[in-house]
Amino acid sequence: MNTFFNPLIRFIIMFFFTFFFVFIFDLKILDIQLYQLNLILNNYKIVMILFVVLSIIFIVNGSNFIDGFNGLLLIHFIIILSIFSYLNFKYYNSEIFLLCIFLIFSSTLILKYNFPLAKIFLGDNGSYLVGSIISLIAIQTSTLNNKYPPFFFACIFFYLFFEVFFSFFRKLLILKKNPLYPDKYHLHMLVYSFLIKKKFSKFKSNYLCGFFINLVYIILISPTLFLFNSSPNFLKLYFFALIIIYNLIYFYFYSYYAKRNQSV
C-alpha cells in the first residue's frame, strides 16, 4: 500500500502539521458557550490547542469528503466566504473582509471551469487548502467579533461537520468497518444515485447534486444569518434542530437507495 494514501498516516501527518501551526500562532477559540468546557479550555493550554486542532481537521476533512462532484465544494466555499465577508464588513474588519472578497473572486473564476462542466478539479490538495482557509478565517472572525455566539459558527459549518461525524459513526457502528476508509454512502453520493435513478444523465446528476445540496444548505442556515445576534440559546436549539433535519434528509435518500438496490 502507498503510505501517502493510507488514511491513518495521512491523518497523523495532518494532525502534527496542524498542531504545529496552531501552537506557533497561538490560535484560540475564546468561547464555546458551554461553561464547563470553557473552564477546561481556558485553564489547560494543551486542551485548547487540541480542541482547535481537531476543529480545523474536521473542517478540512469535511471539505475533502464533499469534493468530487462538480461545483459542490467550490460553491459551498463561496457561500461560507460570502457570509464571513458580510460579518467582517459589518464590524469593520477590513483586512479579513478584503481577503474574503479576493477569495470569492478567485473561487468564482475557478468555478467557471468546474461547474457545470468540470475541466478543473480541486483534488485532495485543493480541498485541504479550502478547508484550512475557511477554518482560519472563522477563528479570526470569532476572535475579532466576540458578539457572534459560538453556535452561530457551529451552524455555518454544520454540513462539513455532519459529513465527518456522521460518516465516522455510520462506518464504525452500523457498517462495522474502518471509519478512516472511504465508502459510497455519503449524502452527496446518495443524492447522486437518487438523480441517476430518476433518469437524469450522469453528467446532469453530477452538477445537480452540488446545486441541490448547497441550495438546501442555504435554506437551512438562512435563519441563523438573520438571528445571529439573538439569544445564544436559540442558536443552540437551532444547531440541534439541524442535526435532526440532516439526519432525516440522509435517511430519506439512504432508504430510497437501499430499496432500489434490493429490487434490482
Task: Output the tens digit of pLDDT for each of the chain's 264 residues.
Answer: 444 567 778 888 889 999 998 888 888 877 776 767 778 887 888 988 999 999 899 899 889 888 878 889 999 999 999 999 988 888 778 899 999 999 999 999 999 888 877 787 788 888 899 999 999 999 888 888 767 778 888 889 999 988 888 887 777 777 777 766 777 888 888 899 899 888 888 888 888 998 999 999 999 998 888 776 666 678 888 888 998 999 899 889 988 887 766 655
Q: Look at the chain and count its residues.
A: 264
d(CA 116, CA 200): 14
What pLDDT score was predicted for residue 228? 63
CA–CA dist 138, 134 (Å, integer) = 6
Whether the model clears a pTM of 0.85, i.e. scores above it, the answer is: yes
Tally of CB atoms within 10 A around 121: 13
Q: Write the burial class of residue 2 (CB in 10 Å: 0-12 exposed, 13-18 middle, 19+ buried).
A: exposed
pLDDT at 150: 81
Angle between helices 202-226 and 232-263 (to 10 degrees): 160
Q: Which cell goes with 137?
A: 478565517
Say how many domains are in the chain: 1
pLDDT the model gives residue 215 = 94
Domain span at 99: 3-263
CA-CA distance, 257 to 184, in Å (whole number)?
11
DSSP letters spanning 195-237: HHHTT--HHHHHHHHHHHHHHHHHHHHHHHHHSTTS-HHHHHH
